[in-house]
Amino acid sequence: MNRINILIILAAIFLNFSLWAQETKPWDIPEDQANKTAPAMFTPDMAKVGKDVYLKTCTSCHGDPGKNNQAKLNPVPSDLASPGVASQSDGTLHYKIVHGKGLMPAFKNTLSATDIWNVIAYIRSFHTGYVQPEPRVIKTFGGSSLKLTLEFLKDELKFKVLAVGVKDEIETPAEGVELAIFTNRYFGKLKLGESKTTNAQGEAFFDVPEGLPGNEKGELTLQAKVVDTDTYGDVMASGVFAAGEPSNKPGLTEKRAMWNVGSKAPWWISLAYPLGVLAVIGTIGYILLLLKKVYSQGNDASEN
Amino acid sequence: MDSTLPVDAQKSALKKIIDDVARNIGINKKFHAWMGFLTLLLFVCLYAYYIQLRDGLGVAGIRDYVSWGMYIANFVFFVASSLIGMLITAVLGLSGVKWITPVARIAEIIAIGFAAVAGLVIVSDMGRPERLVYVFIYGRIQSPILWDVTVVTTYVLISLILLYLPLIPDLKILSRNPMLPKWLQKTYELLSINWKGTNEQYQLLHKAIKIMSVLIVPVALAIHTVTSWLFASTSRVGWDSTIFGPYFVTGAFVAGTAFLIIAMYFFRKNYKLHDYLTDFHFDKLGKLLVLVSLVYLYFNINEFLVPAYKLKAHDAVHLKALFSGHHAPMFWSVQLFGLLIPIVLMLFKKFRKPLPLMLISLFVVIGSWFKRYLIVVPTQEHPFLPIQNVPENFKLYQPTLIETAITVASFVLVLMIITVLSKAFPIITIWETAHEKGIHEPEKLSIDKAE
C-alpha cells in the first residue's frame, strides 16, 4: 500500500467520524444514465489496464474484489465482486464512479473516461454470468466501436473527419457524433474553431484557420476527437498536414545565448571569464616572481 | 614619533614590541581549553552533518519551495564578513590611513577564516556533496554559481598571500627569538625566504603588497556582487533588484567591521595588547562602522521604499510578510537593533570606547546574520504561482535542530581558523609598528639582540 492510499484512508476515516451522525442518502441515478452502455465491448486488455487503475485508486477502500477486505468506513464500501454490484447496470456503476457520494470520491476529474470504463471492465471480470449489453454505438451506427479518420482537403482548405461504426470489419457511417479538432502547440493543444456534428455520411468539415504557424515545412500536427467521451470513449485520429505557414525562426537553443549550454554561451562571456581568471593567475605569478627576487636579494646581501 | 632615537632606545623599544607580540605565539593552557571546547562542539555538530549525509537533506527544514534556508543565509553572511580584509588592507591601506597598522593582520585573518569556510557552507547545502566536482566538469560559464565558486576560491588565495607578504619581515625578526620553540623558529626562518631587510627587498615587498592590495579590490567586490547576483539574476520578488550588488557589498562592510571590532576586543584583552589596540583605534573603527552603517541604511531605505511605493501585486504579498506579517518581528528587530540604534549610539564618543563598542558590534553582527536570513528565506515563500496541495511544512520554512547544529559547526570552524592563525603568527605587525615608532632596521636590531 503506498503513501497516497494511506492518506486517502486517513482522510476517509476522519471524514467518517465527522459524518457519523449523518445517515447515508440512497444513490439517485437518472434513468438515462443508468441505461448508458460502454462505448465498446469489454476486452481482456481493457480489464488488464483497469486492474492497474483499480489497485492504485480503489483498493485502499474497496479492498481486493472477492476477498471482502474493505476499509471499515461508514457505510462500508461494497466488495465490488459481490452480487449486489454485479446486478447493477454498467451505466449505474459508471454514474457512481463518476459522481461519487459521501465517502465515495467523484472520479470525473481524476480518471479519464477510458480508464473509468477500463475499471468497470475489470470489475465485470469478477461477475460470473455477466453479459454485456450491446454498446450504444452499435445500436446507432451498427458498429461495435467508433473509428475516426482525418484528412486534409488541400483545394478547399478544409479538414475532413470521417466517423464510422465498425462491427465485424463492416463499417457504417456514424451520424450525429460531435467532433472537435486540435493542433499541438508548445504547451498543450489548441482547439481549432467550434466543434461540429457529423452528417448522414458520417463526415464533418473544419475550416483551416489562416496563418497558423507550423514547423519549418509548414506542417501542423492535428488531432480529431470525439467530444462525448463518456459514451464513445477517448476516440481520436491524428496526422501531420502541410496546412500551416512555414515558420523559419531559429530554435531557442540554436544560437549562442545566455540560457544555452556552456559551449553555446555568448562569445563575450566565453572570453571575459577565462581572461579574468588568467589576469588574476598572471598577477599572482608575478608576485611569486617578486618573492623569488626577494629570496635571491637575501643571498646577495649575506655575501656582502 | 622621533626618527632620531638613539640605538639603545630603539633596541629597548623594539624588545618590548617583540616580547608583547611573541608572548602570544605558541600553545598555552588557555589555548588548550579554548580549542578543546571548540573541538568538542565541532564533533557534536559534525554528528549532525553525519545524520544529514546518511538521511539526506530532508533532515533540514528546506523543502521544495524554500530550498535555500539557513545554510545559504549563513553562506551570504560568511562571504560578507570576509570582505573586511579588503576594506582594511586595500581601501584604507591604499588611501594611506595610518591607524590600520595594528588591525590589518587581524582583518586579514578574519577574511581568510570566513572566506575559507564559506565554501564548506555551500557543500553543507548539497544533498550529494560528492558531486561537487560536477560544478567544474559540467558548470555553465553563464551561471553566477560558477562565477561565485571561482571568485570565492580566488579571494581565499589572495587573502592568504596578503596575510603572508607583510609577515615576511616579522618572521625573520622572530626566527631567532628564544621565547619560541625551536621548530617554530626553524619554520619562521624557512618562511622568511632569506629576508635581510635590505632596501631592495623592502622595495620588492612594498611593490608586491601594493599590487595585491589593488588586485583584491575587484576580486572582493566581485565575490559579494556575484553572491548577490545568485539572487538578483532571478526575477523573484525581493530579489529582482538592480542595486543588489552594492547593497550586499555595503552590508558586508557593516558585518565585517563589527566582527573586526569584536575580534580586536578579545585579542586586546586575552593577548594583553592594550598598548597597540588602543581606545583611539576603537574610536576610529567605531566611526568607520557608523559610516558604512549609514550607507547601508540608505540602501535599505532604497530597497524597501521603492517597491513599497509601487506595491506591485506580488511585491505587496512579500512586503506585507516583512512589514506586518510573520517575518515582521525579525525584520524590525534587525533594522532597529542591528542598524538604527547602533548608528545613533555610536555617534556619541563614549559609546565608541572598547567595551560599549564591542557590545554594540555584537548586536550589529547578530543583526547582520538575521538580515541575510530575511533576504534569502521570505522571497521563496512568495512564488509567482500559487502554492497548492502541498504539506504544511512546504509553505513556511522552519529550520531544524540538525540544520542549526551544522550552521554552528561552520562558525566553530571559523573561530578555529582564526585562533590557530593568531597563535601561529604574530597578530600585530612588528616591523610596521617599529618603523612607525622610529625604529630603523628592526631585523638587524633583533638579530643583534639574539646573538
Closest CA to B161 of A137, A288, A98: A288
- Output A300 or B134, whichever has higher pLDDT: B134
Q: Has residue B447 been placed in a domain?
A: no
The answer to whether residue A290 neighbours chain B at the CB level (below 8 Å) is yes
pLDDT digits (tens, 9 = 90+) for B179-222: 888 999 999 999 999 999 899 999 999 999 999 999 999 999 99
Q: Has residue B179 been placed in a domain?
A: yes
- Once rounded to an integer, what is the mean pLDDT over residues B106-116? 96
pLDDT higher than 50, residue A21: no
> How high is the pLDDT of residue B344?
98
In chain B, % of residues over pLDDT 90: 81
pLDDT higher than 80, residue A19: no
Domain CATH for B247: 1.20.1630.10
Q: Could you tell me which chain A residue has the CA closest to the CA of B214? A: A283
CB contact under 8 A, A301 and B198: yes
* Partner-chain residue, chosen from A265, A290, A295, that has the shortest CB–CB distance to B194: A295
Q: Could you tell me which chain B residue has the CA closest to the CA of A277? A: B150
> How high is the pLDDT of residue A280?
95
| Domains: count for chain B | 1
> How high is the pLDDT of residue B28?
85
The answer to whether residue B161 neighbours chain A at the CB level (below 8 Å) is yes
Q: Has residue B13 been placed in a domain?
A: no
* Partner-chain residue, chosen from A262, A297, A299, that has the shortest CB–CB distance to B204: A297
- Output A252 or B59, whichever has higher pLDDT: B59
Tell me the pLDDT band of A229, cut-offs 50, 70 and 90.
Answer: confident
Q: Has residue B239 been placed in a domain?
A: yes
> How high is the pLDDT of residue B451?
40
Q: Has residue B451 been placed in a domain?
A: no
| Range scoring the smallest mean pLDDT among A22-36, A42-56, B233-247, B388-402 | A22-36
- Once rounded to an integer, what is the mean pLDDT over residues B312-317? 92
The answer to whether residue B158 neighbours chain A at the CB level (below 8 Å) is yes
Q: Has residue B120 been placed in a domain?
A: yes
Q: Has residue B439 been placed in a domain?
A: no
pLDDT higher than 60, residue B448: no
Tell me the CA distances in angstroms from B163 to A140, B107, B209, one per residue in order.
Answer: 91, 9, 10
* Partner-chain residue, chosen from A265, A297, A298, that has the shortest CB–CB distance to B142: A265
CB contact under 8 A, A258 and B212: no
- Output B411 or A4, whichever has higher pLDDT: B411
CB contact under 8 A, A298 and B211: no
The answer to whether residue B219 neighbours chain A at the CB level (below 8 Å) is yes
Tell me the pLDDT band of A112, cut-offs 50, 70 and 90.
Answer: confident
> How high is the pLDDT of residue B440?
81
Tell me the pLDDT band of B95, cut-offs 50, 70 and 90.
Answer: very high
- Once rounded to an integer, what is the mean pLDDT over residues A57-69? 92
Q: Has residue B43 been placed in a domain?
A: yes
Q: What is the pTM of this model?
A: 0.72
pLDDT higher than 90, residue B302: yes
Residues of the domain holding B415: 23-385+397-434
